[in-house]
Amino acid sequence: MNGRLILGILGRLMVLEAAMMLPSLGVALAYREGDAAGFVWTILILLAVGLPAMLLSPARREVCTREGLVVVSLAWVLMSMFGALPFLFSGSISSPVDALFETVSGFTTTGASILPEVEGLPHGILFWRSFTHWVGGMGVLVLTLAVMPKLSGRGSVLARAESPGPTFSKVAPRMHDTARVMYAIYTGMTLLQLGLMLLSDLPLFDAAIHTLGTAGTGGFSNRNLSMGAYNNPWAEMITMVFMLLFGMNFVVYVRLLRGDGWKSFRSAEVGAYWAMAAVSTLLIAVQILPEYSSFLSALRYSSFQVSSIMSTTGYATANFALWPQFTHVLLLLLMVVGACAGSTSGGIKVSRVVILGKAMAREIGQAVAPRKVRLIKMDGRLISEQTVRSVLVFLFIYIAFLFLGTLAASSDGHDFVSSFSAAASCLSNIGPGLGVVGPAGNYGVFSPAVKMFLSFLMLAGRLEFIPLLALFHRELWGKGH
Amino acid sequence: MRIIIIGDGKVGHSIAEALITEGHEVTIVDRSETALLRSRDTLDAMMVKGNGVNVDTLMEAGAPMADIVIAVTVSDEINMLSCLTAKRLGARYAIARIRDPEYHKSLSFLMRELLIDYVINPERLMAQEISRMLRYPFTGSVETFARGRVELMDFRLAQGDLLEGMALKDLYTKKPELPRVLFAAVERGEEALIPKGDTVLQAEDRVFVAADVLTITRFFKAIGKYISGIKSVMVLGAGRITYYLSELLLDMNIKVSVVELEEKRAAEFKEMLPQASVIVGDGTDQELLISEGLDHFDAFVTLSGLDEENIMAGLYAKRLGVRKVVVKNSRDNYMDLLGAMGLESAVSIRRVTGNAILRTVRTRAAAKKADAAERLYRLMDGAAEALEFIVQDDAPYINVPLRELKVKPEALLAVIVREGQVRVPFGGDSLQPRDSVVVIVKGGVQTLGDIFR
């Protein structure tokens, strides 16, 4: 373990975070609501901590797997801790636990809020809250690799620990280029959505907030009623489509740009993703039909909610907590599954579900004809036994933490549905759940200890457990490493 | 440049590593997931699983856009076919490793028909490397620059040597009779030093010096490290390298004696090379070596398949007082250990192959830039490099006295060759168009201009 190397990378990250606060500072200065000083202080603190650590640049530039895990976990924890400071300095949130919860929720693109009332917050703070979604969506270390090529040597270790999905594939030989391509596509799509949102007559600030929230599949809004506040079908439709687009594997866009045309979409994961979205939308539309005037109107609300939950964004145009029970179970299922690997979304990921389904079929087939050789293939490629095993273990860890989270949340005395959906929502980085944490409720009802545990769940879910859990492994800190 | 390496074996991995450090975009293709997983964590390259002759695999690796395809799998046939497929898909340059001598008999035909631009025969490269070592037996390694006008050679300093404890700036004031050579690099432990005036030479240092052959030979004589010409060589093992090496040595009128354990192979060898004498017996058996008169040979080359056998036999020959011992060793990380044991001249097939490929890639890269290096040699396993440049007509550093051109501390302007004359540069010298310049550097330098601050 090379302590100086880890410190050096973390220092660079702190400086990068200071730079990331500049747009929010600009917004704060433009609106003059007294929150600018909070950003200035935070930036100064970040520089005071980050610059000395950065200057401790290591002689050896290679990051090994072990150090990669430590860097990724510590990076996310530190980013969240420092990112919480503007909330505290501006007085928008008074309790440090609440501020930390809100920031973790931002960076992990969860969008779960402890604030019952967001419309009175200063604009700079609102912007920062949503900007954390955007950065957290593609990943802070991927961003670091994109802007600091020198780290790139063994940077794939960092990117792999941070990127969601069972496997990580580079799109360019050099990690530095891969990170830049990813961020270029991400930025391009964000700008495209912003432009369309403006065309739909949303005010610039609101359009920006909801675009940032959609791109990172986060879900923070500057309105208490989320997207529902505007009752603007065009903005809803644009948001719905982009939520699904940001939930798709970004490799698809890389292939599209390379001119592969429709072939780019030909993958088992993307197919299953769209199929699930379509079937769920129809099922829910049929269920909620009695509550709305027409099928089209029912379709409008069900499609928005399905894409919001599946892409793990968490915007709401209706209080789905009031919908029939069947829709709740279906939405919970979608929460657990999430969207595609290699996207900005959370959850188990569709590709893992596809692999799990194939592994299940194989196991059953093995019982029927034990001597037959069966391989698990996806898109014509062999899925190695190691990947299958890690997917199975991932599922187990996810379920274990889902129940631990439910247990913790219910310790505050909330009902099963609320506790279970809060845990699922945090683990899959969605935001709203059902019951007290439904679209109309918020996470402020939980005790500080539960909020801390839920924050841990959000981080664990975003980093897909292994990096964060590895921090607790004895051998990581053992001698001789 | 975009480079595809097919075959993630020892050679593939080590050239990938070197090419990435030089800033190329590398994609590695291999059939084995295990090999790719190992590389995934250590190399900043793209990994593609699949067979290099498969069109889909090559498409995924980006063959149509590739500047160079390097096929170094274990199979000659796959290497050749991969090159053909990649070239047909649009790759611009193809390098194949081909080992079987059968193919080398019709090499030009194969290269033309299979669109292979450069063929690497590791065994022949090894033989060439060893024959050069035997031509200059007094040095551990030898590299040639400026069309043979400059040689870079090295020796290891022992306790009580003439130069031990001497600062380089005092060297020629204290020993004016020493022939003038340039001290190019010093390997101390695991560190590579670019010597300055105040560098003090220590025992156990491996010192690299550059000059023309005559001067360097006189220099080695003066410091007592000279070994006179080799007239007879005993070789352990009758493999392919031995075959190529014996051919080269016999051409140089050097007597060759080969010891081979297997009777059949020994007979085949004798049939192919009747001028060589072949002995059937166990080359690690000391009595056999003595009875065959090993102590009367000028040099002993161990080329058996086992590193341990080679090293032990080499050490034994060294103790018998054989003047020049060359051992084949496949583990790169043991090279400095061998040096410390007195086996200066160790050769590794992987390193020789890797260097040859790197040199070709460099030349391709240089074709794009007028100012790039003509030749490149990696010293001390890549810790330092010796590069040869030609000064361009319009370079900004022409006619500026060297003392005003601030050379970076990790670089050294070693030799200037002007109109066939080799000169060791001093502060008042300046570079002239069409000069050949040899530069020693630590770390990546692409053009001659890079070495100046």
CA distance A241 to B387: 57
Whether the predicted pLDDT of B432 surpasses 60: yes
B7-26 average pLDDT score: 87
pLDDT score for B409: 79
The pLDDT score that the predictor gives to residue B371 is: 65
B286-323, pLDDT tens digit by residue?
888 888 888 889 999 999 888 889 999 999 998 888 88
Q: Residue B428: is it exposed, middle or buried by C-beta count within 10 angstroms (0-12/13-18/19+)?
A: exposed
Tell me the per-residue pLDDT of A154-211, one tens digit each, with 9 for 90 and over: 677 778 778 777 777 788 888 888 888 999 999 999 999 999 999 998 999 999 999 9
**Nearest Cα to Cα of residue A86 among A41, A120, A130, A118:** A41
What single-letter amino acid sits at A432? P
- pLDDT, residue A31, reads 92
Q: What is the DSSP string of B92-150?
A: S-EEEE---HHHHHTHHHHHHHTT-SEEE-HHHHHHHHHHHHHHSTTSS-EEEEGGGTE
Residue of B nearest to A258 (CA): B62
Amino acid at B436: S
% chain B with pLDDT above 70: 98
Per-residue pLDDT at B413 exceeds 80: yes
**Across the A/B interface, how many CB contacts are shorter than 8 Å?**
33
What was the pLDDT predicted at A154?
A: 65
Using one digit for the tens of pLDDT, what is the confidence trace for B253-295? 899 999 998 999 999 999 988 999 999 988 888 888 888 888 8
Does residue A265 surpass a pLDDT of 80? yes
Compute the distance between CA of residue B371 and CA of residue B366 in angstroms, rounded to an integer: 7
B40, B41, B45 member nearest A173 (Cβ) = B45
User: Quick one: pLDDT at residue B425?
Assistant: 79
For residue B30, the SS3 value is strand
Mean pLDDT of A93-109: 94
* CA angle (B63, B68, B71) in 5-degree steps: 85
- Checking if the pLDDT of B197 tops 90, the result is no
pLDDT digits (tens, 9 = 90+) for A286-306: 999 998 889 999 999 999 999
- At B403, give phi and psi (nearest 5°): -65, -20
Whether residues A384 and B41 touch (CB distance < 8 A) is answered with: no
Question: What is the residue whose two structure tokens read 């290699």?
Answer: A342
Tell me: pLDDT of A480 over 60: no
Contact between A157 and A64 (Cβ < 8 Å): yes
Per-residue confidence (pLDDT) for residue B384, from 0 to 100? 82
Residue B368 above 80 pLDDT?
no
Question: Over 90: is that where the pLDDT of A421 sits?
Answer: yes
Least confident of A330-344, B307-321, B432-446: B432-446
Chain A nearest-CA residue for B31: A382
The residue count of chain B comes to 453
Name every chain B residue with its beta carbon within 8 A of the beta carbon of A173: 2, 25-27, 44-46
Which helix (H) or strand (E) covers residue B47, if one does? strand B46-49
Joined tokens for residue A199: 């065309």
Nearest to B152 by CA among B427, B388, B336, B371: B388
The residue ranking higher by pLDDT, A260 or A309, is: A309
pLDDT of residue A156: 75
Residue A375 DSSP label: -
Are B379 and B385 contacting, i.e. CB atoms less than 8 angstroms apart?
Answer: yes
B367: pLDDT confidence band, cut at 50, 70 and 90?
low
Coil, helix or strand at residue B442: coil
pLDDT tens across A231-243, in order?
899 999 999 999 9
Answer yes or no: is pLDDT of A130 > 60.
yes
Residue A55 CB burial class (10 angstroms; 0-12, 13-18, ≥19): exposed
What pLDDT is stored for residue A216 in this prediction? 92
* CB within 8 Å: B33 and A384: yes
- Per-residue pLDDT of A61-80, as tens digits, reads 667 778 888 889 999 999 99
Nearest-CA distance B445 → chain A (Å): 17
Query: What is the arithmetic mean of pLDDT over A30-48?
Result: 93
As a whole number of angstroms, the distance between CA A317 and CA A385 comes to 43
pLDDT at A152: 56
Tokens of A420: 């279970």
- Chain B residues within an 8 Å CB radius of A379: none
Residue B395 pLDDT more than 90? no
Residues 6+ apart with CB under 8 A from A188: none
DSSP H helices in A200-341: 204-215, 233-246, 251-257, 268-288, 295-310, 325-337
State pTM to two decimals. Answer: 0.80
CB B105 within 8 A of CB B38: no
Task: Give pLDDT, residue A151.
Answer: 66
What residue of A is the nearest CA neighbor of B3? A173
Question: What's the ipTM?
Answer: 0.76
Query: Does B436 or A15 have the greater pLDDT score?
Result: A15
| Average predicted confidence (pLDDT) for chain B | 85
Of A154, A174, A177, the CB nearest to B41: A154
Closest CA to B31 of B54, B65, B55: B54
Cβ contact, residue pair A173, B2, below 8 Å: yes
Contact A175 B44 (CB under 8 A): yes
Mean pLDDT rounded to a whole number for chain A = 90
Per-residue confidence (pLDDT) for residue B195, from 0 to 100: 85
Mean pLDDT for B189-207 is 83
Give how far A395 is from chain B: nearest CA, Å: 23
The model's confidence at residue A99, banded by pLDDT at 50, 70 and 90, is: very high
Contact call for A174 and B42, based on CB within 8 A: no
DSSP element (H, E) containing A448: helix A448-462
Residue B91, pLDDT score:
93
pLDDT at B391 over 90: no
Higher local confidence (pLDDT), A3 or B70: B70
pLDDT of residue B370: 58
Contacts of A65 in chain B (CB under 8 A): 41
Inspect the interface and report whether the beta carbons of A153 and B33 lie closer than 8 Å. Answer: no
**Mean predicted confidence (pLDDT) in B147-154:** 82
How does pLDDT run across A440-452, given as a tens digit for each residue? Answer: 888 999 999 999 9
Across A4-8, A26-30, A318-322, A438-442, which has the greatest mean pLDDT?
A26-30
Q: So what's the pLDDT on residue A340?
A: 92
d(CA A224, CA B147): 79
Residues 6+ apart with CB under 8 A from A245: A189
Q: How far is CA B169 from CA B182, B197, B388, in A?
A: 12, 5, 25
- Per-residue pLDDT, B418: 84
Cβ atoms within 10 Å, residue B246: 26
Q: What is the pLDDT of residue B405?
A: 80
> Per the CB < 8 Å rule, is A170 touching B2?
no
Contact partners, residue B69, CB within 8 Å, separation at least 6: B3, B4, B6, B63, B82, B83, B86, B87, B91, B93, B94, B95
How close B246 comes to chain A (CA, Å)? 43
Which residue from B2, B25, B42 is facing A154, i.e. has the nearest CB?
Answer: B42
The whole-number average pLDDT for the span B199-215 is 85
Confidence (pLDDT) at A478:
66
Q: Which residues of chain A make contact with B26, given a CB cutoff of 8 A? A: 173
A-chain CB neighbours of B40 within 8 Å are 156
Chain A interface mutation, best of B5, B41, B47, B67, highest count of A Cβ atoms under 10 Å: B41
Predicted pLDDT at A163: 79
Question: What is residue A436's DSSP assignment?
Answer: G
Q: Which residue from B33, B46, B47 is facing A172, i.e. has the nearest CB?
A: B46
On whether the CB atoms of residues A41 and A107 are closer than 8 A, the answer is: no
Q: What band does B366 get if pLDDT is binned at 50, 70 and 90? A: low
Contact check, Cβ <8 Å, B44/A157: no
Q: Which uninterrupted H or E stretch holds A357?
A: helix A350-368
Q: Check residue B321 and give its pLDDT.
A: 87
Find the mean pLDDT for residues B220-247: 88
